[in-house]
Amino acid sequence: MPDLPSRREHEAELANAIALAFRSAGKPPFDWDAMAAALAAAMAGPLASAFADAAARMPGPVSPDAASQWAAGYSQALAAEIVGHSRDAIENENDGAALAAAIAVVFGAVRALTIAITETTRAITAAEQWAVSLGAGGEMEPWWVTEKDARVCEVCAPLDETPQSAWVDVAPLGPPAHPRCRCYLDWREAA
């Protein structure tokens, strides 16, 4: 199955939600708990939307609650991880210029887009795996597929068109294998 046609729209929606949450972070001292809650709330909808679109493309019935349930749980864990990395990057800076530069990177649009690309990939993979776990389409096996363009990285290029046994050690749950990973799974009838 080819990559999700609406991937870029989902990435943009998630990047915008993250950027808005980052902008509301304000200035030091940061309320990290409030930031985690705002991020989780902002990401849940776009993640659920990507999950639902991916699940709908798989054979078999689609549960409307599955996307919301997955996204609600995952967005909480993801927000905690993002805030933890943000706090570590900012709290390790002592002088004003270095702190300002760290804040600009940590809460910048590039980081928001990196997270959005990575987590849209994760939502698509999770949805497909969920659908297959319900027996959608019979016995199916995931094969790794890259975008086959100049941006494919050294990690993913050798995984292109390989079955799960070839990539399970690199990325046990499938794409993403790294930040900004755009790879996807092609579900094929098991041999």
DSSP 8-state assignment for residue 174: -
**Could you give the CA distance from residue 84 to residue 87 in angstroms, rounded to a whole number?**
5
Measured CA to CA in angstroms, residue 126 lies from 52, 68, 166 at distances of: 10, 13, 19
Instruction: State phi, psi for 175 to the nearest 5 degrees.
Output: -60, 145
pLDDT digits (tens, 9 = 90+) for 68-92: 999 999 999 999 999 999 999 998 8
DSSP string, 46-83: HHHHHHHHHHHTSSS---HHHHHHHHHHHHHHHHHHHH
Check residue 178 and give its pLDDT.
96
The pLDDT averaged over each successive group of 10 residues in the chain (191 residues) is 86 97 85 95 97 89 86 97 95 85 94 98 95 78 94 95 95 96 92 75
Check residue 136 and give its pLDDT.
60
- Crossing angle between the packed helical segments 109-133 and 64-91, to the nearest 10 degrees: 150
Check residue 93 and give its pLDDT.
82
Check residue 1 and give its pLDDT.
57
pTM of the entire structure? 0.93
